[in-house]
Amino acid sequence: MGWTRVGAGGSVREFAARGMVAEIAVHAPSDVGDERNHHAHIMLTTREIGADGFTVKNRDWNGVELLEGWRESWAQEIDGAMEHYGVGGGGSIIEH
């Protein structure tokens, strides 16, 4: 499951660098279901942080171009980590 942590951690650093608050939860597969279901949830705020706490929503963070860029970056990062850990047989696995 190391590849999940690598990919998710990189994304969280990118979000935090923009000023977002990010929380990550990494999950292993449950005892029932698909054993390949390693995954992560990343929760983000769309509000900026100021001296007194949360302030206005930053609607730029919802821009389609930005979101598509994050999806592409995520796919490349996970694919690279999966290759490093020998998961998935190489090549591009994550679609975006």
What confidence tens digit (pLDDT) does each residue in 36-95 have? 777 778 888 889 888 899 999 999 989 999 989 888 888 888 777 778 777 766 666 666
pLDDT at 4 over 60: no
* Per-residue confidence (pLDDT) for residue 36, from 0 to 100: 72
Cα 53 to Cα 21, 46, 48, 49, 50, distances in angstroms: 11, 13, 8, 5, 5
Dig out the tokens for 73 from the structure.
Answer: 């970056």
Provide the residue type at 35 as one letter.
Answer: E
Cut 0.85: pTM above it: no
| Predicted local confidence at residue 90, as pLDDT | 62
pLDDT of res. 64 = 94
- pLDDT for the residue 7: 57
